[in-house]
Structure 1
């Protein structure tokens, strides 16, 4: 007989699985929305310039875009129905999307087949060979304030179809056997795999020079990333933080002591994975392993599965060190990588001198290119304040910020805030960025008692609606809490200005995730200052754009991201009120004269 505690645990596990399933469905809907927006951007901004380029006959370019627009139509229909289906269900645990996915995946095949069979790859090759026109296309994207180049957009359809099996498989993982959607989801998974296989065959025939794209898909399938070793999600075939699409630069076999490692060098990080030597090269010694080997095509490695050896090394945290003469004599064809944050060095050995030279050159160049791109990114993102036309009338002392119920897909959050003051973000006259606060935040893994969650949510509802002194709610052990010390002085120029706060999750492997924003009228700070002196705490709700499925997901689960803003208003230039009398002004003037006379007497005495 089950104990009451056992029943509670079972029910809690069921609820958690239901939430996880709904989360993955929302991820599917949200990424589908971004995908069709990207397709629309490519069609609207690049068709005309390509027609005028003369790289291909206009008819062929029109055919490529016709097939691209057909994909846009098909996927828009999928997104519309998915979004409606998710929002229609009152109980998110009953969401049934398997049949819908199955039907739409079948409709996708002719659209994607025609697109991949067109001269799209040939067009990309010609653009690569014409640097001047390639730069022109990049300039078009820059003018639209987008990182989405034509090359990135043209390869999106092939990237997208590889995501469907992964997402549907995750949905199935959290779908109980007795769920009414179980059978349809299994069929949808088979349809997505069949679609991938068919399109990959066509793409393989059409595409030789885009071999790295296929390698990224192989990595997603064959490299396991345990959450105990890395708390950030990595999608190999996706966007980097500021380098555009992820690119595989170099790969091969390295050794650390006697351990054989599969090494993968990307444009934004370096990854080492372990594979069983016995399963790849049974009976071979280390020096018998072929020097030149393609891990993705070699008969003994292409079907192997490997596991992360160490957390991926981001170039911000990585140095490449050549050995001195004595070390080189003892360990030929070897080099060290230094992980700055861990103050640790790892000795790696290549199979031959030529491989050793190749790895050193590739690693050094990748780090150099990464640093250049980072400098450019930071320069573009640099804040340029708008100089106010009048001096500040007061100062806002922003003491600290506290956030509750922030949501991210990662297992740990590296959260930071941007704060600005002005009429809007573009015309802000002052901006600051908080330090990054790290917290294991994925609420799916939080073992907080249900009663405490209920209490927290109740407190948040009150907090988000106005003023509070927080009390026990700011418990340091609260897993929903993130705290930033700011201690910043912000000039108040106009009482009609707004204080803007945006929260982000800083991931080293992807563009920063937007977590929510709030805007507060400076007038409300001034009014509160009149009623209460000293330090004041104000609660505000954080908002996500309503068209984001994650915003709907948070609402459905009664999760309310919000902020506590702790501040003090300090007067700079006291403003004379209308009620101040002429007598008060004369008195103040008399005091100033007396002070001046006393000062003159003191100066005369000092001189004598």
Structure 2
């Protein structure tokens, strides 16, 4: 391994890189190399690496390379075979260095990982030791008899056996790259010897940087679907391995889709962190405390619907008719407009770069996706589109520089609005789970009507998390009876809210029906936090026993209910019996 021999080992011996730093920079990298190498070794046993191949079309003799790769196997699959069996193989097991630090990182990263089919290989690796003074035995590869590509060749079975085992290792590698890149950049910024060795290494490898080597495992796996597809096209449908190859193709595609998703999420997370550091909040030019609507906006966190916030689209657009240029950011819960505070003509190259002085300033309060009705293309201008909202009388008119960019924005906004509506309904559905058994009573005949006036609450107790994220508490009360949930408006900046909000529910069983009461702190950018709750039966709030209450006139009464944390809620109640 050129990286291990020419980079890691010299820097470790010179104490420029510690063992811990090696583990941080190359986490899981060796494991991916081992997985791919094990796969290729499995092909070595299955496929005969012939000295000669003849084409049935022109009879040209071809000498095939003795290297196990999907591209070579794909080549073999296209040509009829007429050759002798060769027992000569080349091992593709990465050379294991005897440096103690390299042995340690390979051991910790799982380099000794064996796939489900590895018992078929004669390759033995033993690196389960941490003694710096000991040396591992040299790995050997003792070939068995190999086969030409014919009815007994099982390429698909090998792929189906190996590809699923790669998923977790690739996920771990992708998840660790963001932090590894930060560690890499920090080391390069602080250590001149490290920077010098990086340049020397790149010169020795013909211009390929260390990062180029670290991305090779991902580049290799992205080629698998293409190569397997070629094998599939040159495999007869009645071949015994055809269905396995087809299944392997689907598995490789799924693996790449999941890897792409991981990479996208990592990139989004990195960009959210960048915005947190480079976006100025509030009217104060020097304000960067991150508060909007008295709530601390953490970009890289869960949004109001309890799902991770994602940056979906960003770019420069122009607000019409003022002609003001704005840098817009579309998230999965709101649309944010900003201006470029620091004077910079090349802001495009500085956006999301770690080493930059670029600063952005919020232009206006975020436009929540729940307040957007629709985005439409303009009929009069191929570059203009409008956003119709629930909060502004006139549509917001925006202009892009290209028609395809306008189409991209309109589609992205409308899709994000739809997804946000689905997420909002999902939150409401989750809250209604505890009433599932009571919903069955809705098919019965109601026996009474419960009229409530939710008046006020006392001594609400925000959690420490709430106090850290908010300058104030904006409470609202939510009450569920049966399948119906109603809530009061939220009151800003108080722990003693007065709502005086009327509600009405139907009762189907005066003994069994329950009343679920929750008080939440209204959030804009994070999940609403509970400030207190209780569950009661109707009999718990009646001024007298139920049998006596039913004999009395239906008069209003007031009750003070204590919640789980000692806070209390005052309600005025009326129970009206319904005649059948």
TM interval, short-chain normalised: 0.3 to 0.5
Query: What's the TM-score, normalizing by structure 1?
Result: 0.45
Greater share of helix residues, 1 or 2?
1
Query: What's the TM-score, normalizing by structure 2?
Result: 0.46
Answer 1 or 2: higher relative contact order, Cα 8 Å, separation at least 6: 1
Give the number of the structure whose alpha-carbon radius of gyration is greater.
2
